[in-house]
Chain A
Amino acid sequence: MSVFLDHASTTALRKTAKTALNDALEMLGNPSSVHSQGRTTRELLEASRDALAQACGANRSEIIFNSGGTEGDNHAIKGIYWKQNQQDPTRRVIITSPTEHHAVLDPVSWLAANQGAEVHYVKLLRNGMLDFDDLERLIDQHSSQIALISLMWVNNETGVITDIPRVTELASKHSIPVHSDAVAAFGHVPINFAESGLTAMSLSGHKVGAPIGVGALVVARSAKPASLVHGGGQERSLRSGTMNYSMAASFAAAAGEAVAELGKEMTRVASLRQKLEQAVAQIVPDVIFTSADAERASYNSHMILPGTQSDALLFLLDQQGVCVSAGSACQAGVLGPSHVLIGMGYTQQEASACIRVTLGSTTDQSDIEAFTAALAKIYPVALQATPA
Chain B
Amino acid sequence: MRVLAAMSGGVDSAVAAARAVELGHEVIGVHLALSRMPGTLRTGSRGCCTIEDSMDAQRAANKLGIPFYVWDFSERFKLDVVDDFIAEYQAGRTPNPCMRCNERIKFAALLERGLSLGFDAVCTGHYASIVDDGAGNLELHRSLAMAKDQSYVLGVLNAKQLEHSMFPLGATASKDLIRQEARDRGLSVANKPDSYDICFIPEGDTRDWLKDFVPTDPGKIVDTEGNELGEHDGHVGFTIGQRKGLRIGKPAADGKPRYVLEIRPKTKEVVVGPEAALEIAELSGARYTWCGKAPEAPEQEFACEVQVRAHGDTVKALAAVVDGELRITLVEPLYGVATGQTAVVYLGTRVLGQMTIDSTRSKVTSGV
Residues in chain A within 8 A of chain B (CB atoms): 311-312, 315-316, 318-319, 329-336, 381, 384-388
Inter-subunit contact B70/A333 (CB<8 Å): yes
Q: Which 9 A-B pairs have the closest CB atoms?
A: A333-B70, A332-B38, A332-B54, A334-B33, A386-B112, A386-B113, A334-B38, A334-B72, A386-B116
Set A311, A312, A334: member contacting B74, Cβ < 8 A: A334
Would you list 8 pairs from A and B whose C-beta atoms are within 8 A, ordered by A residue? Answer: A312-B113, A319-B28, A332-B31, A332-B50, A333-B31, A333-B38, A386-B113, A388-B73
Determine the chain A residues whose CB is within 8 A of the CB of B135 once the complex forms: none
Tell me, rounded to whole Å, the shortest Cβ–Cβ distance linking B75 to chain A: 8
Inter-subunit contact B117/A312 (CB<8 Å): yes
Nearest to B58 among chain A residues (CB) is A333
Tell me, rounded to whole Å, the shortest Cβ–Cβ distance linking A369 to chain B: 23
Inter-subunit contact A332/B67 (CB<8 Å): no
Inter-subunit contact A334/B116 (CB<8 Å): no
Interface residues of B in 15-54 (CB under 8 A from A): 28, 31, 33, 38-39, 49-51, 54
Determine the chain B residues whose CB is within 8 A of the CB of A333 once the complex forms: 31, 33, 38, 54, 58, 69-70
Inter-subunit contact B49/A315 (CB<8 Å): no
Inter-subunit contact B51/A388 (CB<8 Å): no
Contact of A311 with B39 at beta-carbon distance under 8 Å, contacts A333-B31, A386-B109, A386-B112 already known: no
Interface residues of B in 108-129 (CB under 8 A from A): 109, 112-113, 115-118
Inter-subunit contact B113/A330 (CB<8 Å): no
Inter-subunit contact B70/A332 (CB<8 Å): yes
Determine the chain A residues whose CB is within 8 A of the CB of B72 once the complex forms: 311, 334-336, 388
Tell me, rounded to whole Å, the shortest Cβ–Cβ distance linking B79 to chain A: 12
Set B33, B38, B70, B116: member contacting A384, Cβ < 8 A: B116
The verdict on B76 contacting chain A, using a C-beta distance below 8 Å, is yes
Residues in chain B within 8 A of chain A (CB atoms): 28, 31, 33, 38-39, 49-51, 54, 58, 67, 69-76, 109, 112-113, 115-118
Complex CA distance for A385 and B71, rounded to whole angstroms: 13
Max chain B C-beta neighbours (<10 A), residue from A319, A385, A386, A388: A388
Determine the chain B residues whose CB is within 8 A of the CB of A312 once the complex forms: 113, 117
Tell me, rounded to whole Å, the shortest Cβ–Cβ distance linking B257 to chain A: 44
Complex CA distance for A333 and B72, rounded to whole angstroms: 9
Complex CA distance for A386 and B73, rounded to whole angstroms: 12
Complex CA distance for A336 and B39, rounded to whole angstroms: 12
Complex CA distance for A336 and B70, rounded to whole angstroms: 11
Inter-subunit contact B70/A334 (CB<8 Å): yes
Complex CA distance for A381 and B54, rounded to whole angstroms: 26
Nearest to B33 among chain A residues (CB) is A334
Nearest to A311 among chain B residues (CB) is B71
Inter-subunit contact B109/A388 (CB<8 Å): yes
Determine the chain B residues whose CB is within 8 A of the CB of A384 once the complex forms: 116
Tell me, rounded to whole Å, the shortest Cβ–Cβ distance linking A309 to chain B: 10
- Contacts A318-B69, A335-B70 aside, 16 further interface pairs with beta carbons under 8 A come to A311-B71, A312-B113, A315-B117, A316-B117, A319-B67, A330-B38, A332-B54, A333-B33, A333-B58, A334-B72, A336-B72, A381-B117, A385-B116, A386-B112, A387-B113, A388-B75
Nearest to A384 among chain B residues (CB) is B116
Complex CA distance for A316 and B28, rounded to whole angstroms: 12
Set A316, A319, A332: member contacting B51, Cβ < 8 A: A332
Determine the chain A residues whose CB is within 8 A of the CB of B49 once the complex forms: 332
